[in-house]
Amino acid sequence: MNGQSLSVRDAILQRRSIKNFNGQPVERETLLAVLEDAKWAPNHGNREPWRMVVACDMELKELHTVLRDFGVAKWKELSEDELTKQMKKFTSAGAYAFVVVKEDVRQKERLEDYAATSSYIQNAQLLAWDLGIGACWKTPPFIDAPKFREALGINPGERIISMLQFGYYDEMPKAKPRKAVEDFITFFGSN
């Protein structure tokens, strides 16, 4: 980056999900600043329904063990070579935030909380991008596995909605085409 912040529009249009991180760690203070500013996501009643289980710096090695033993290895039968290959997807990120939301028993509030937390995640990704840090929102099947949840300290009545990876990258992914706005909107009364 050239030291100048992106406009909101530029951040939205330029941000990409990064899947190939270069292994450089994301500093704790930087990650905390991103997560702090992301809290300005819109959320009904200012409930701020999210919480995070974060790993960076020293915690990454322990998290990699948890990901291997209670996540990837339990997800499906893999040979040792296949497991090593799969783990590369998880060991090159420079930081993690597992985004957790309480599952309110009231449907309306549960949906509002999920939407607000999704907005929080998007804010975090855009803020990280503005600092030259890539992010990828992942929802691997093992995030609901009981042993994995237990290892992360997820309580009953809570749901992990994102395994948010952060990190630096060497190559910018190409933009994938998007539908034209006319393909997904109709004007009221025009049908």
Residues flagged as binding site for FMN: 15-17, 44, 137-139
Report the alpha-carbon distance of residue 99 to residue 163 in Å, rounded: 7
CA-to-CA separations, 127 to 19, 99, 121, 152, in angstroms, rounded: 17, 16, 10, 25
DSSP classification of residue 46: G
Contact 159, 110 (CB under 8 A): no
Residue 186 sits at the vertex; the CA angle it makes with 181 and 191, to the nearest 5 degrees, is: 150
Contact 119, 44 (CB under 8 A): no
For the annotated binding site, the residues are 15-17, 44, 137-139
